[in-house]
A and B are shown apart, each in its own frame.
Chain A
Amino acid sequence: MNGEPKTVIEVEDLVTHYGGRKILDGVSMNVTEGEIMVIMGGSGSGKSTLLRYMMALERQTSGTIKLLDQDIGKLNQQEMFGLRKKIGVAFQGGALFSSMTVGENIMLPLYEHAHLDMMTMEIMARMKLEVVDLAGFEDLMPAELSGGMIKRAAFARAVIMDPKLLFCDEPSAGLDPVVASALDDLILKLRDALQMTVVVVTHELDSVFKIADRVTVLDRGHILFIGTVEELRNNKSERIQNLLNRRPEDETIDPDEYLRRLTGEEETGGDATL
Chain B
Amino acid sequence: MKNVGNGITDYTEKIGRQTIAGVEEIGNGGFLLLESFYWLFVGPKLKQPVRFGAVIAQMMEIGINAIPLIAMMAGTIGAMMAMQSIYMLRIFGAESQVTYGVAFSVVREFAPLITGILVAGRSGSALAARLGTMKISQEIDALKVMGINPVRYLVVPALLGMVVMVPALTIFNMMVGMLCAGLYINADLGISLAAYSEQVIDILSVGDVIHGVGKSVLFAVLIALIGVINGASVTGGAEGVGKVTTRAVVQAISAIIVTDMLFAFMATR
Residues of A within 8 A of B (CB): 55-57, 78, 80-81, 84-85, 87-89, 91-93, 95-98, 108-109, 112-113, 115, 167
Contact = CB atoms under 8 A, between A and B. Distances in A.
B148 A108 contact: yes
Contacts of B144: 57, 84
Chain A CB count within 10 A is highest, among B141, B142, B144, for B142
A57 B148 CA distance: 12
B219 to A, nearest CB: 26
Given A55-B145, A93-B137, 6 more contacts: A80-B147, A84-B145, A88-B145, A95-B137, A95-B142, A98-B139
Contact of A89 (B46, B47, B137, B142): B142
Contact of B138 (A80, A85, A95): A95
Contact of A112 (B133, B137, B147): B147
B141 A91 contact: yes
Interface residues of B, number: 15
Contact of B141 (A57, A88, A98, A108): A57
A91 B142 contact: yes
B142 A81 contact: no
Interface of B: 46-48, 133-134, 137-139, 141-142, 144-148
Contact of B145 (A87, A92, A93, A113): A87
A62 to B, nearest CB: 22
B146 A93 contact: no
A10 B137 CA distance: 28
A95 B146 contact: no
Contacts of B146: 84, 108-109, 112
A93 B146 CA distance: 16
Contacts of A78: 46
